[in-house]
Structure 1
């Protein structure tokens, strides 16, 4: 009889780790970990070795003995320090990458698919919904100071009822027509316009119900150190863009 499932559940409880957190620590799916704990599945030897090494437990003890809490508290990896310091847990943000982008368009509303996306862990509000996007094209690039491939943007979820309430020129991640787009948002004459910075890319004009998801960009991570831009000039340009859209609506 193997005690593996019972022991890893006890380790989780001592470490105060959720199934999801423990699974991510060892590159497992949460459902797979659950199957181990419920003894519905046996782990691969590589997984056993990883867990044993991480907690400085012998493989023999992990598999053939029921570990006690007292014994676990003697192991390394700060198990004995649970009450002595505060552990901060960052929010895990699913990230859309070039390799997952096509599948995301199909399975964006499937929780198990979202759970399996790569994650960024950031100190942001845990109760809000975020999505990260790894840029892979030059659609929002017109010089070396703007968004380039390998930059990462983070968006906060916009509910469908609020699609037409956000400000013009807001940067958004939108899922529309089976594609994930990073664009500037405009609302004009009952139409949503998604505009690229690159002037060679045509605008995409859609009805609000054609957008499956939309996230307004609130954080950006550049692969390079950006130069100091003149914020005042940028604000004036954004203002002029909004005024132009208002004039367009009148004529």
Structure 2
């Protein structure tokens, strides 16, 4: 992206560093610095974080802002600060649903705010989704079982993070964790962090700060190639086991009441 190349060049020169000195500071080759500044290549997300830290900037500002002598950083840590969302439209000027495949999730961290990048994503339309901005994300792993890995979550863009509702599921795009699909445990107005929970109890809840979050998408539907399996008919053995478990439970209740 043009912002990244021009920002690297401007900030490097402002610090009075040659390309070689800058490359040595980041432990990369000088030729890479030249490629980044000439917009012939883009740094991977881990290196972007390293560069942003080197220049004492947020990754968000470093990617999305045109940094020059007139630029001033925005106040940090305010989830109410809204950004312009990049979208694509079809020939009739209707918004598309862009798909972020699993293999593209890392690239989405660099290009989520770049209209050209978003326009290159696979896209489709569904008649039941109108009146909002929607995006589809392919999820990986078993943290949200019973939704299987490889499911596609269709989310509606959350413009005002104060509208986030506890116990509902969202696609959370953050600087440190990338794209994740989780259930939310609290409201933003209560604190500056979101508690994210997996439906699979094997995984512990964790918190992500408002400063770390790039986008929030409220889950509206999912698409999966794994169809539901029929419920097996009860057997005599399973019925017997069920009755024994019920008897044990009743026995424990009776013992507790004595």
TM-score, reference length from structure 1: 0.49
TM-score, reference length from structure 2: 0.48
